Amino acid sequence: MDAYLALRESLWHRATKERYIFISLDRHLKDSGFHGQDIPPDIIDSWLASLTESLNVNTVNVYISHYAQFAGYLRSFGYTAFIPEKSIGDKTYVPYIFDKDEISALVKAADNLLASLPERHRHNAACFTIMLRMLAGCGFRVNEVRLLKTRDVDMDRGIVYVKNAKGDRNRIVPMHSSLTEILRIYAGSGIPLVDGWFFPSANGSPVSYSWIRNAFGKCLGAIRIERPTLPKHSRGVCLHCVRHSYAVAALRRLNANGIDLYSEIPVLSTYMGHENLYGTERYLHMTVENSYDIISKMEIFNKGLFPEVPEE
């Protein structure tokens, strides 16, 4: 595994991002008492089944994709390595769209959580209250915020430099002045590391995703938004829904202000770090009740994209 990751890094891939997947596989092989060199189906199937239920189908497929490349590497040396089929995502998934009042309530719940936790947990909770504001105010992905370096937050100009995000893309994200001022106050707390993480845990590493997810779950409970019981690896009301909600709110604001969506949707797509407009369109998988106005506008926007073919 180390040799494979070293090879990936020599080819300019960011193998550090995928190392955690191979740590998970390595631990499973050890726990299973596996000592062979050929990897059979039952080992891989049991590894995938052991993954935490918090992972959604798309994330599980990322695990499978990276493992499949490693399996191809093993096969090049003559070993046998089973490659599983990818999971089929739930095409009917509809994200929960938080409205303005619910976002405000979530932020207040995060602040209350900070005040109520024991001293040993307040460091992480202080980071979480700022993270949540950034997720809601700019539509960041969770890891884009969680893995921010202090040097990439320009509080003089109110800009965040997102580096090596999804697809290894970089972008510049301007913030609202009110959010920038909150970040200045946070920076004055001494928590951000000058030459390190903007949201460090008490031991200096980034605040863990599991801690953030659990804190978000407590905030959902505090404002009485219930998360339904779903099959393993299914997505429900989660942190990523805040990003969906940002996209919907931005489009609704453009519509309400009479701004031409045709010219502004590419700007929003770039701002959110999507590779193309199709990425932004995915964030419009919303309920008709919440966003009929946006859906009708998008129909106009897409009209003529695929010309009608007359019947013969």
What are the two backbone dihedrals, phi and then psi, of residue 300, each rounded to the nearest 5 degrees? -65, -40
CA distances from 266 to 140, 258, 263, 292, 301 (A): 17, 16, 7, 21, 12
pLDDT tens-digit readout, 92-111? 566 788 999 999 999 999 99
Domain boundaries along the sequence of the chain: 2-75, 106-222, 240-302
Global pTM reads 0.67
HEC string of the chain equals CHHHHHHHHHCCCCHHHCHHHHHHHHHHHHHCCCCCCCECHHHHHHHHHHCCCCCCHHHHHHHHHHHHHHHHHHHCCCCCECCCCCCCCCCCCCCCCCCHHHHHHHHHHHHHHHHHCCHHHHHHHHHHHHHHHHHHHHCCCHHHHHCCEHHHEECCCCEEEECCCHHHCCEEEECCHHHHHHHHHHHCCCCCCCCCECCECCCCCECCHHHHHHHHHHHHHHCCCCCCCCCCCCCCCCCHHHHHHHHHHHHHHHHHCCCCHHHHHHHHHHHCCCCCHHHHHHCCCCCHHHHHHHHHHHHHHHCCCCCCCCCC
What would the mean pLDDT of 299-305 be, rounded to a whole number?
Answer: 51
Q: What is the overall mean pLDDT for the chain?
A: 83
Q: Are 198 and 153 contacting, i.e. CB atoms less than 8 angstroms apart?
A: yes
- pLDDT confidence bin for 175, thresholds 50/70/90: very high
The residue among 219 and 232 whose pLDDT is bigger is 219
Q: Which two tokens stand for residue 256?
A: 């309400």
pLDDT tens-digit readout, 62-79? 889 899 999 999 999 999
* The pLDDT value given to residue 254: 79
- Which residues, in sequence order, are bridge partners of residue 39? 81
Q: Are 247 and 272 contacting, i.e. CB atoms less than 8 angstroms apart?
A: yes
Q: Which residue has the tokens 């801690």?
A: 211
Q: Give the C-alpha separation, 24 to 288, whole Å.
A: 40
Percent of the chain with pLDDT over 70: 80
Q: Which two tokens stand for residue 218?
A: 């407590």
- 106-222 homologous superfamily: Intergrase catalytic core (1.10.443.10)
